[in-house]
Structure 1
Amino acid sequence: MSACNERIARDVSTAALTYTVTGRGVGSVATEIQAGKHRFLVDEPSALAGDDAAPSPVEYALGALVSCQVIVFRLYAQSLGLTIDEIEITAEGDLDARKLFGIDESGRAGFHDVRVKVDIDGPNTVEEYENLRRVVDAHCPVLDIFSNPVPTSGSLA
């Protein structure tokens, strides 16, 4: 059991986490994000009214999914006694921008399909890695966000 697992098992209150991220508009449509001590820029390509100064929000969303999957694959491989020599994950999402621009209100504003491809190199069997993939998919927080509705509320300050 990792030190993190032991800490949470000893005191379940340490499992309740709240993340806060703040964004401030800059440039044409870009946003400067503050997440804890980290800052990063989010923008849109010029075809979507941006300056193409940084990845778009949906690219960051796919990046969040990919990075969470990599982390959870590594954590569970270790706990299951499997070896990952190399891992590369690609997420591809299909989005129809007509809803974004108010052209067609019938579709979704977000992705209507996301495909995740996992490429693992290591000494274990395909079956062991497939079992690992099932475990990861059941425990990956960002995949859960993509797969299930999350109650979300908004307000003007």
Structure 2
Amino acid sequence: MSSLASERPGTMSPISLARGVLRTECSTSPSRRRSAVRAGTAIDLRTTRANSRCPTRRTKWAALKDRTERRGPVSVTVRLPENGLDLARRVLASRIHDVSEAKDGWCTVVVRYHDIESVRQLLRFGDHIEVLTPAAARERIGQLATIPAERHSTPAG
């Protein structure tokens, strides 16, 4: 059996790597297509995988993007200083659902998550954020914030 035939799907052996061979294989494809291409040769993977059930980079990226950017059913209302709104827009991006006008230097922002546990993302704002609602999110942030506080309350070592 050749070294190419003994490799697992989607992997390259040191021998194949040394030869400059890129191998793609999909075990879920009915015909178990295999293609070996010498390095530097241009191929169109869309035609190679046209009738295959293998996820492509494009479909994997689309699924990851959807899971990351899709607004979830849990709405969390937070208070941020007005000067922290730019950072919030960069960090929270498409999760931001609504932003209120600033009053007394503070803005109210509604952020959407898939679950309460995802509020841990808000910890990066440190003491520049206050979770207002729901109570479960406020409680979870309080729990998560006590962990580093307890860890740093005694000298290291």
How would you bin the TM-score normalised by the shorter chain?
A: under 0.3
The structure richer in helix per residue is: 2
